[in-house]
């Protein structure tokens, strides 16, 4: 089955026509863009395949042996793990997982992606955000470090990046095509041993060849990063800036923004499991979620818990009401574990904050009304989905955001992160909802033309074999590299007896 859209974003690249919009979606190594007025564009990280010529044996030096066909498999293209659109909708930042690259594109008015730069980070990026009026990218990696990089490298940096990319391509690790089973003479065995020793030599760690600043670091794997500005207390004072970072060890750290990121303002302590998602509500409160049974609402300036809101109970109620789903509890409800995969601030017709929440492997969207200061937050609505949600984006139409587009996993059975769907039960890769006058979200067909155009293009690529698959029919037992992108949240949970 073809890979679903693991990331979706909406933007308006034409500042003079706010009625038009662009839908961006990543499927495996490809990024699709569909314009509201028609037209679809595709960019791919696909690399040209290579083939190695078989080495002819020197028959004067060794006896003839069994001829072995030697070939070098084409390198798998890196999969897109994150998409980020700048606030002016002029640039797109994409993270590709396997090569640890930050890629920057220019968005033209028709939706075509023009590659501007690609920068390889030392460790795989896990979260990105923009600061300083879209001039700087904040990049958090799985090693625990946060870097600041200019959105657009200077001409000097661009030359260095190009040279570094070429050196990386030419200095790829050498893999001998021969093995001890195919080498017979003593001289050739010695040559093979020397080649293997050379391969095992550790590479020297080289500094990054582009402008960057290391802002802060955790001793644990980072999972999320946010940036906030707060108006100064005095009239005319500069706004204060803050960086929020969350990690696998239940920490939420609040640091000052650059250039004082080394100063820690405080920690929001209250989680007992990993923290996977952070969200700032429209009123400025911090909402966090992860492997715990609750979401937590924070007064983050004082690092104080305002309220805990159960997310496990709504998930349990939904699964009980839909026993046909693979993840529905059959025996012990206490064994049910939730992993929050997304929290988004949403518009509301109420005077209070509104957030949308998804959990990994749960085919539903949970709509909460938040008022942590009065401790009256509540579940407003549970929206059933046709499959497990992977990502969500908000589409502004007028003064408020009126639409949401949800990316759906059309490959796995609803409620399961591993079980594949039946071939005759394949829904569309996206669903759209509109905000009603009563404050609830309703399924809508108003965006179907654009969604179907994007879905059809991806499906056509899959039929032509240009798109990677979740399960390779030649190796059905081998997990696709994109699996960790689609379902990697629960893997953050620490197992009993396992090393931290």
Separation between Cα atoms, residue 293 and residue 31, nearest integer Å: 34
Separation between Cα atoms, residue 307 and residue 316, nearest integer Å: 20
Dihedral sign for Cα atoms in the order 382, 386, 388, 393: negative
Answer whether residue 123 shows pLDDT above 90: yes
193 found inside a domain = no
309 found inside a domain = yes
Separation between Cα atoms, residue 273 and residue 244, nearest integer Å: 18
pLDDT in tens, 284-297: 999 999 999 999 99
Answer whether residue 202 shows pLDDT above 60: no
Of residues 81 and 475, more confidence is placed in: 81
Contact (Cβ atoms closer than 8 angstroms) between residue 277 and residue 355: no
State the chain's mean pLDDT as an integer.
85
Would you state the pLDDT for residue 473?
46
User: 352: pLDDT confidence band, cut at 50, 70 and 90?
Assistant: confident
User: 49: pLDDT confidence band, cut at 50, 70 and 90?
Assistant: very low
321 found inside a domain = yes
192 found inside a domain = no
Range of the domain at 475: 7-42+77-155+208-492
> What CATH number does residue 313 fall under?
2.130.10.10
Q: Please give the tally of structural domains in the chain.
A: 1
> Among 221-230, 370-379, 482-491, which stretch is predicted with the lowest mean pLDDT?
370-379
Closest by alpha carbon to 443, among 458, 451, 429, 433?
433
Answer whether residue 59 shows pLDDT above 50: no
Separation between Cα atoms, residue 415 and residue 46, nearest integer Å: 31
66 found inside a domain = no
- Percentage of the chain lying above the pLDDT 90 cut: 59
Would you state the pLDDT for residue 155?
81
User: 479: pLDDT confidence band, cut at 50, 70 and 90?
Assistant: low
Would you state the pLDDT for residue 341?
98
Report, as an integer, the average pLDDT of 292-306: 97
Would you state the pLDDT for residue 19?
85
Answer whether residue 57 shows pLDDT above 60: no
Would you state the pLDDT for residue 200?
53
pLDDT in tens, 169-180: 555 555 656 676
Answer whether residue 58 shows pLDDT above 50: no
Contact (Cβ atoms closer than 8 angstroms) between residue 3 and residue 468: yes
Which among 62-71, 145-154, 162-171, 424-433 has the top mean pLDDT?
145-154
Report, as an integer, the average pLDDT of 382-386: 97
440 found inside a domain = yes
Q: Given 3-state DSSP classes, what are the helix, strand and coil percentages for the chain, each rounded to the nearest 5?
A: 15, 35, 50
pLDDT in tens, 83-122: 999 999 999 999 999 999 999 999 999 889 999 999 999 9
Q: Is the peptide bond before 269 cis (omega within 30 degrees of 0)?
A: no
Mapped onto helix, strand or coil, the DSSP state of residue 5 is coil
Of residues 150 and 195, more confidence is placed in: 150
Q: How many CA atoms within 13 Å lie on the side-chain side of 144?
A: 11
**Structure tokens given for 217:** 């670091």
Report, as an integer, the average pLDDT of 46-71: 45
pLDDT in tens, 5-48: 999 999 999 888 888 899 999 999 999 999 998 889 999 987 53
What does pTM read for this prediction?
Answer: 0.85
Would you state the pLDDT for residue 144?
95
Answer whether residue 478 shows pLDDT above 70: no
pLDDT in tens, 360-371: 999 999 999 998
72 found inside a domain = no
- Percentage of the chain lying above the pLDDT 70 cut: 80
65 found inside a domain = no
Answer whether residue 466 shows pLDDT above 60: no
Answer whether residue 276 shows pLDDT above 90: yes
pLDDT in tens, 393-407: 999 876 556 899 999
Report, as an integer, the average pLDDT of 299-303: 96
């Amino acid at each position: 089955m073809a890979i679903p859209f693991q990331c979706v974003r909406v933007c308006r690249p034409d500042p003079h026509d706010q009625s038009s919009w662009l839908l961006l979606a990543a499927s495996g190594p490809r990024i699709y863009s569909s314009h509201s007025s028609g037209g679809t564009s595709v960019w791919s990280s696909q690399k040209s395949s290579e083939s190695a010529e078989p080495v002819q044996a020197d028959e004067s030096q060794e006896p003839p042996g069994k001829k072995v066909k030697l070939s070098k498999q084409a390198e798998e293209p890196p999969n897109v793990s994150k998409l980020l659109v700048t606030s002016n909708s002029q640039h797109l930042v994409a993270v590709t997982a396997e090569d640890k690259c930050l890629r920057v594109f220019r968005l033209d008015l028709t939706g075509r992606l023009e590659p501007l730069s690609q920068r390889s980070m030392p460790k795989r990026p896990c979260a990105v955000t923009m600061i300083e009026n879209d001039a700087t990218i904040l990049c958090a990696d799985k090693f625990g470090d946060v870097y600041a990089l200019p959105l657009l490298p200077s001409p000097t940096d661009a030359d260095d990046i190009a040279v570094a990319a070429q050196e990386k391509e030419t200095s790829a690790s050498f893999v001998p095509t021969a093995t001890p089973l195919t080498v017979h003479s003593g001289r050739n065995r010695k040559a093979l041993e020397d080649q293997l020793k050379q391969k095992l030599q550790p590479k020297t760690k080289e500094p990054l060849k582009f402008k960057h600043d290391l802002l802060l670091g955790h001793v644990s794997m980072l999972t999320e990063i946010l940036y906030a500005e707060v108006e100064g207390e005095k009239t005319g004072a500069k706004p204060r800036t803050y960086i929020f970072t969350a990690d696998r060890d239940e920490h939420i750290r609040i640091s000052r923004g650059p250039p004082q990121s080394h100063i820690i303002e405080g920690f929001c302590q209250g989680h007992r499991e990993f923290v996977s998602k952070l969200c700032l509500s429209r009123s400025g409160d911090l909402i966090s979620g992860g492997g715990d049974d609750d979401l937590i609402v924070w007064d983050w300036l004082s690092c104080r818990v305002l309220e805990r809101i159960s997310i496990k109970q709504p998930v349990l109620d939904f699964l009980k009401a839909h026993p046909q789903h693979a993840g529905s509890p059959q025996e012990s409800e206490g064994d049910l574990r939730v992993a929050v995969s997304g929290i988004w601030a949403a518009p509301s017709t109420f005077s209070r904050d509104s957030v949308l929440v998804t959990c990994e492997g749960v085919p539903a969207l949970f709509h909460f009304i938040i008022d942590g200061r009065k401790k009256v937050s509540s579940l407003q609505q549970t929206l059933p989905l046709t499959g497990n949600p992977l990502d969500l984006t908000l589409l502004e139409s007028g003064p408020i955001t009126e639409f949401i587009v949800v990316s759906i996993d059309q490959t796995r059975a609803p409620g399961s992160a591993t079980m594949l769907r039946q071939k005759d039960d394949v829904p569309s890769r996206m669903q759209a909802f509109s905000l009603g006058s009563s404050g609830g979200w309703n399924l809508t067909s108003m965006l179907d033309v654009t969604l179907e155009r994007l879905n059809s293009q991806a499906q056509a690529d899959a039929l032509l074999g240009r798109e990677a698959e979740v399960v390779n029919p030649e190796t059905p037992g081998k997990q696709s590299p994109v699996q960790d992108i689609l379902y990697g949240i629960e893997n953050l949970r620490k197992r009993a007896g396992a090393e931290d």
